Chains A and B, each alone.
Chain A
Amino acid sequence: MPNIDGEDDYCISVSNLRKKYGKNNPYAVNDITFDVKYGTVFGFLGPNGAGKTTTVKILTTLLKPTSGTVHIFGRQLLKNQSEIKKRIGVVSQNPSFETNLTVEKALDLYGILWRIRDKQIRKNKINEILNTFDLGSIKSVKNDELSIGQRRRVQVAREFIHELDLLFLDEPTVGLDPSARRLLLDYIKSQVKSGLTVFFTTHIMEEAEYLCDQIAIIDKGKIIAFDTPSGLKQKYGKGNKTVELTFNDVPDKLFIDHLRNIVNMRRSYKDATEATSHVGFNGVHTVTIIDDNVEQIISEVLQLVYKNGLQLENISINPPSLEEVFLAVINKNDYSKDSEVSP
């Protein structure tokens, strides 16, 4: 269990970590520092090629860092690999399976490799996993014959055959259907409640929002945002909300132009770089308005709707999603990078 003698408050402590592949290449991971508390889910998000998998590979001992230090369970990773590896589980981004074995036999072999010597204990554990992950119906099917989603479920499930304190999940829900995905996320949540720490990478922001206690966003090898999901929304969502207006009839162009004028009037009061207000029209029945103070403009919008004789079928006001925040953070990083290199 975590926090045994000699271990500090953090399950993972990463300090000034860098990784370069080859002399002439840029840093894949460039001076990142973060801590992960015990019993939490740490989301590590970023676009493709941002450095997520390289970081996971360093933390799971597959790669050696170019510089920087990593402590896991309070122990230096490079010096205590075998001790640390006994207490972690890893679900890699790529599939991994024993081709010729059935699901049940593969789980049994995995249990043996984790040194669960007692056959009965292994059997009980396998049955528990088969039930929890709804794998009972495919237990006699060879891994080679499974669908991608089924294989993925087995890959995640097998990690729970041994006692672990830290689980690395590198895009674990790729290929899973919605119900299998929810089953997995809920199971992880329950395990976290029992003390498990999870390092989680994903491209699906709803998952990150649902599961993570803290989120770091990495881009071009650097961590560019780090907070709780709600903290990120506060910081980078600028309090924006989305108003979605659904009409019975398709609104005309003039109405949309008037609406844009209302929003643009508010924009003109702000610093141009701060302005995030936006009117979107899908060309059919729905108009979306993104603004940091929709309450203030909503009466003007409704008056305009009334004046144009339009009938509203539905109106909804939503806080910014993590996806919007993610895009805002990445775009801002691209913008500032471009500014740096521009003459």
Chain B
Amino acid sequence: MSLVNNTLLLVYRNFVAAVDKTFLIWMVAFPVVYIFIVGYAYSTLIGDRGISVGSITVTYTSFLTSGVIGFNAMNGSSAVAGGIVWNDKRNGMLQQLLVMQFSKVQYIVGNLITIILVGLISAALIMIIGFPTMYRNVNITLWSLPYIIYALAMGSVFFGSFTIILSTKIKSSEAHSVINNGLFLFFTFVSSAFYPAQGLPTPLAIAFYLNPLTYIVDISRAGIFSQITTFTNIQVLILGAISVAVFVIATRSMVNMKV
């Protein structure tokens, strides 16, 4: 009971300490710019052709919004996880929590729950805000909903854990910022969030499928438009495996953090 209470207290603490107004504005404003500016601007270039998703064709704004939902899960979870672990390590709060009634296991589980919740909330926000742009194509069913939740939750675990690993290994703020920005530039733009992977030159297509964001976006998009195929299920397995592996590494990094 105390384990559960302590973990929940840490989740609450993470939200209070890491999620402020600036974070929330950034979490909404950034994707909204993508959806409403980039989305409509590119739509004029693409015209009425639409984009294929499984057996259907959707508008570019629908395609983009469904991609930004996954992107925002990545963005939110990595920002909050990196912020918490980086600040706790740098500002001595990890040590302070551990001399209180909290254990490292509780700290790690608390962070995991926070990452998933922030990822899901970030995605849900975009789902609500971007709904007007894709309502004609949305077809979420009881069968496809778990795919969406799974993709966003697992994606949050992957990116949250990945940022935690960076935060525990990197020593200086400058390096932390440069590596984070560099990697997330790759994750964001070498993925199927903004454009389809089909028809790309082979090297670029391979790079797309080396990027977990592609899997998150593909699975959640298949769920949103009810276009689940065998390939979606293979992506589910791959995303699960890499997320668990990265989480295990992140856990080890947190356990080995010097206090």
Chain A residues engaging chain B, CB cutoff 8 angstroms: 57, 60-62, 82, 85-86, 88, 90, 92, 94-101, 105, 109, 112-115
Contacts and interface: CB of A to CB of B under 8 A. Distances in A.
Interface stretch (B15-23, B185-193, B200-208, B215-223): B15-23
B16 A101 contact: yes
Interface in B87-101: 87, 91-93, 95-101
B1 to A, nearest CB: 12
Interface string B1-27: 010000001001100111010000000
A96 B92 contact: yes
Given A100-B18, A109-B17, A112-B9, A85 B100 contact: yes
B91 A61 contact: no
Contacts of A92: 92, 95-96, 99
A90 B96 contact: yes
User: Chain A binding site: helix, strand, loop or mixed by DSSP?
Assistant: loop
Contact of A114 (B2, B100, B103, B259): B100
A61 B98 contact: yes
Contacts of A86: 101
Given A96-B91, A112-B13, A114-B100, 18 more contacts: A61-B98, A62-B99, A85-B99, A86-B101, A90-B96, A90-B99, A92-B92, A95-B92, A97-B91, A99-B17, A100-B18, A101-B16, A105-B16, A109-B16, A113-B13, A113-B97, A113-B102, A115-B9
A62 B259 contact: yes
Contacts of B99: 60-62, 85, 88, 90, 92
A98 B93 contact: yes
A98 B17 contact: yes
Given A109-B13, A113-B9, A94 B98 contact: no
Nearest to B17: A98
B101 A82 contact: yes
B19 to A, nearest CB: 9
Q: Which of B17, B101, B103 has the most CB of A within 10 A?
A: B101
A155 to B, nearest CB: 9
Interface of B: 2, 9, 12-13, 16-18, 20, 87, 91-93, 95-103, 259
Contacts of B101: 82, 85-86
Nearest to B96: A96
Contacts of A112: 9, 12-13
A94 B93 CA distance: 10
10 A-B pairs with least C-beta separation = A96-B92, A90-B99, A96-B96, A60-B99, A98-B17, A94-B92, A85-B101, A62-B259, A96-B93, A100-B20
Nearest to A88: B99
A85 B18 CA distance: 25
14 contacts: A62-B98, A82-B2, A82-B101, A92-B92, A92-B96, A92-B99, A95-B92, A96-B95, A97-B92, A98-B87, A105-B16, A109-B16, A114-B100, A115-B9
A94 B95 contact: yes
Contacts of B16: 101, 105, 109
Contacts of B95: 62, 92, 94, 96
A18 B2 CA distance: 31
A114 B101 CA distance: 8
A113 B91 contact: no
Contacts of A88: 99
A218 B97 CA distance: 28
Contacts of B103: 82
Nearest to A97: B91
Contacts of B102: 113
A62 B103 CA distance: 10
A113 B10 CA distance: 8
Q: Which of B98, B99, B101, B103 has the most CB of A within 10 A?
A: B99
Contacts of B97: 113
A112 B12 CA distance: 9
Q: Which of B9, B16, B87 has the most CB of A within 10 A?
A: B16
Contact of A113 (B2, B87, B92, B100): B100
B91 A98 contact: yes
Contacts of B2: 82
Nearest to A162: B100
B12 to A, nearest CB: 7
A101 B17 contact: yes
Contacts of A90: 96, 99
A100 B99 CA distance: 21
Contacts of B17: 98-101, 109
A21 B102 CA distance: 24
B16 to A, nearest CB: 5
Contacts of A95: 91-92
B129 to A, nearest CB: 25
Contacts of B96: 90, 92, 96
Contacts of B87: 98-99
A60 B100 CA distance: 9
Q: Which of A92, A94, A96 has the most CB of B within 10 A?
A: A96
Contacts of B9: 112-113, 115
A115 B13 CA distance: 12
Contacts of B93: 96-98
